[in-house]
Amino acid sequence: MHELSIKMLIEEAFFEVKHKDVLGRIGRLKTAHGVVETPAFAPVINPIKNVLSPAEIAEMGFPLLMTNAFIIYRNYREVGAQIGVHKILGVNTPIMTDSGAYQLMEYGYVDVKPEDIVRYEEELGADIGVILDIPTRYYMPREQVVLEVEETLRRARRSLALRREAKMLLLAPVQGGRNYDLVEYSAKALAKLPFDLYGVGGPTQIMEHYKFSELARLVLTAKRHLPLSKPLHLFGAGHPMIFSLMVALGVDLFDSASYALYAKDGRYLTPQGTYRFEDLSYLPCRCPVCSKHDVEELKELSAREREKLLAKHNLYVILAEMNTIKQAITEGELWNLVEMRAGSHPSLKSALITISEHVDFLEEHSPITFSKVTGIFFTDTYSLGRLEVYRHVKRLRDSYRLTNKRVVLLLPETEEKPFHRFGPISKFLKRLLQEFRSLTKSVEILVYTRYFGLIPITIDDIYPLSQYEVAQKTAKENVDFITKCIREFLLKNQAFIKAIVACVNEEFLKGYFTGKLKRLSSSMGIPIELLYINVDELHKDETFYAILSIIAKYINLPK
């Protein structure tokens, strides 16, 4: 009967994905008390005393609440189990219960057995219960972390064996912290166990130190080795400026008491950062709290009333950011939002560089097309890690081959796109086809661009190669990227290529770029001819015939 009950539980733990972008997804998580649309934030509620009532928070629009089963166990025990967690909080919405792991991390001890707390979560009628794991603390020696990871896995297996209630979904956290090999080991071991949800544990101290690169690597390491069909929860993540990034990496659920803790400390949340309330002259928000009060009115309130309103504001900001993320997912704009938020803190920008190391995994599981086609805005060199860039470079490297092309002509990027239809490159092509059409059979024309590397002129109207804008000057990172793309292209096609003719725009970091091209020519043994041009004059006699005269060194021009 127990095996049948478990089978029914697994079948009912239904998670349906409606929309995807990068690894982010809008999903429907079915629970005993209703459906939770993800991504979702679960405000953590102290069951004894909270700045806002659970009913107030639920009425604001939060689909999931979180409370602490250990605190209820310690204070109410049998009475709590008889009443149930929903009546204790006074709501009928889905509730997730923690098992005391946070208290274990903070104080090093909780007076309850792991088996007993899981049973108690079932008795409380929680919709989602969390096993009593051992969170990895930031400065814990590796030897101790190894022991704690193994103990968490032992508790996970034991919790599954003891579960009785088919209505409660069970969540197991991945542990290991900054020991990423242990995170991988933990995730792989838990993936073999039939949990309904998985979590990434121990990130609180990482986030307190603004180590967002470490956080991104932690989440991605776990995500790579967990079942993609199951929701992923990130414990203790409560600042809206990191939500879009974490959702893009595959996080579906968040929880935190940040809204209340920040309010108690007089801190005012925004999607870009945090203000000390006493430093504010204006309220940069139009939530129901900020639209009804100005700064001076809030300052005149009692400390308790101001704390309550700040907590409400913080929750409204969190809720609005979740809705912004969902809208971005439906439009295929999630990564644009990630980059926008990354501009608010240097550590978030550093995290984007870390993510680029995992771009193969993101690309494999991210949708290629969307019903709505939108342009791409490149604003900084960390955009070189975008999936669209990776896909184009990979496609060019793996699938694009030259046949009977002996000279490669490199032309600089222009603002007008597609290049073959508009602007100076189109004028150059038109004249070339009119006067030397047969030459195009022997010359491969590529446009070198700051963010897509090399774009063959024959495919430059394929999305997104002409649907992008660049809002920055050329940086050395762009030139390094272009040179790398040229090298890869030559390696794949060097059997055909006799020479490269590179037209260099005066504004394109000329000395740095040409120096790299010369070194590339020397190392590969392929002549690279450099011609300094004004790109707007490509089609004019002087530039046009200068290009042809160089090509003529390697190909006989038609009479």
Catalytic residues: 98
Cβ partners under 8 Å of residue 212, min gap 6: 242, 245, 345, 347, 348, 350, 351
Nearest by Cα to 163 from 174, 151, 171: 171
Q: In 476-505, which positions are buried (b, 16+ CB within 10 angstroms) versus exposed (e)?
A: eebbebbbebbeebbebbeebbebbbbbbb
Provide the residue count of the chain.
559
* Contact yes or no for 43/319 (Cβ under 8 A): no
Task: Using the Cα atoms of residue 113, residue 119, residue 123 and residue 126 in order, give the sign of their dihedral.
Answer: positive
Element (DSSP H or E) covering residue 395: helix 387-399
The residue type found at 363 is E
- Structure-block tokens of residue 555: 């190909």
The residue type found at 223 is K
* Contact yes or no for 440/432 (Cβ under 8 A): yes
Spatial separation of the C-alpha atoms in residues 105 and 175, rounded to whole Å: 12
Rg (CA), the chain: 29
* Contact yes or no for 384/451 (Cβ under 8 A): yes
Q: Are strands 253-256 and 499-505 parallel, antiparallel or unpaired?
A: unpaired
Angle, CA of 329, 332 and 337, to the nearest 5°: 70
Spatial separation of the C-alpha atoms in residues 441 and 402, rounded to whole Å: 11
Spatial separation of the C-alpha atoms in residues 308 and 305, rounded to whole Å: 5
Cβ partners under 8 Å of residue 285, min gap 6: 270, 313, 316, 317
